[in-house]
A and B are shown apart, each in its own frame.
Chain A
Amino acid sequence: GIQVEQSPPDLILQEGANSTLRCNFSDSVNNLQWFHQNPWGQLINLFYIPSGTKQNGRLSATTVATERYSLLYISSSQTTDSGVYFCAVWDSSYKLIFGSGTRLLVRP
């Protein structure tokens, strides 16, 4: 099955700093998504980004499907950005395969 790997596993930032999170996937896919899980456990979809670049406020994502990776950029980070960021792809058996996540802590 598809393997999804994320790096780094943990990241600590000072408020205002920028960061890049990476997601690698093992097979050709065209349906990569990014999620954020807040410190209280709620998971929310951030982007559906099968290829190209999308931006939403201070967050943007780029997927290069031919090279099997996606990047999530967080600019001018805020404490509310803290939590865990997951990337995920649908596999051929109709399951959404999640990476292991990047845990982000933004300090004031």
Chain B
Amino acid sequence: DVKVTQSSRYLVKRTGEKVFLECVQDMDHENMFWYRQDPGLGLRLIYFSYDVKMKEKGDIPEGYSVSREKKERFSLILESASTNQTSMYLCASSLGLGGTDTQYFGPGTRLTVL
């Protein structure tokens, strides 16, 4: 079974702090994704990565950056956290990018920025 893990289930940070969210997958998947989920807005893609050190902006990349130094690990960075970044953050991985490929999700990190 694919396992995607995220470093924290709950996180509380202060405005202006630098925040790191870590995601690790154990199935040698090429692709990894970061989403945020807010009530009424569904899942919105922040960034994805299709290979080590490669990244693509999603729909809402502003205020975020990412890092993928190793295939199994994809980090989301909030350079200077703001209250409007309070949200549920979901990481996912997939073998491919279409067709029969599905995404496997981690348990999520619920981030609160005070």
Interface, chain A (partner B; CB < 8 A): 30-31, 33, 40-45, 48, 86, 90, 94-96, 98-101
- CB neighbours (8 Å) of A96 from chain B are 33, 45, 94, 103
Interface size class of B (residues with CB under 8 A): 20 to 34
Q: Give a binary string over B15-41; 1 marks a CB under 8 Å from any A CB, 0 the rest.
A: 000000000000000000100000011
Q: Using known A-B contacts A41-B110, A86-B42, determine if residue A94 contacts B97 with beta carbons closer than 8 Å.
A: yes
State the total of A-B contacts with C-beta under 8 angstroms.
49
Cβ of A95 and Cβ of B48 under 8 Å apart? Answer: yes
Cβ 8 A contact of A95, one of B40, B41, B58: B58
27 residue pairs A–B, Cβ–Cβ below 8 Å: A30-B99, A31-B99, A40-B107, A41-B88, A41-B90, A41-B107, A41-B108, A42-B108, A43-B90, A43-B105, A86-B42, A86-B43, A90-B97, A90-B98, A90-B101, A94-B48, A94-B50, A94-B56, A94-B97, A95-B45, A95-B48, A96-B103, A98-B43, A99-B42, A100-B40, A100-B41, A101-B42
Q: How far is the CB of B87 from chain A (nearest CB, A)?
A: 12
- CB neighbours (8 Å) of A43 from chain B are 90, 92, 105
- CB neighbours (8 Å) of A30 from chain B are 99
Q: Which residue of chain A lies nearest to B88 when distances are taken between CB atoms in the complex?
A: A41
- CB neighbours (8 Å) of A48 from chain B are 100, 102
Cβ of B43 and Cβ of A45 under 8 Å apart? Answer: no
Q: How far is the CB of B96 from chain A (nearest CB, A)?
A: 9
**CA separation between A94 and B108, bound complex, in Å?**
22
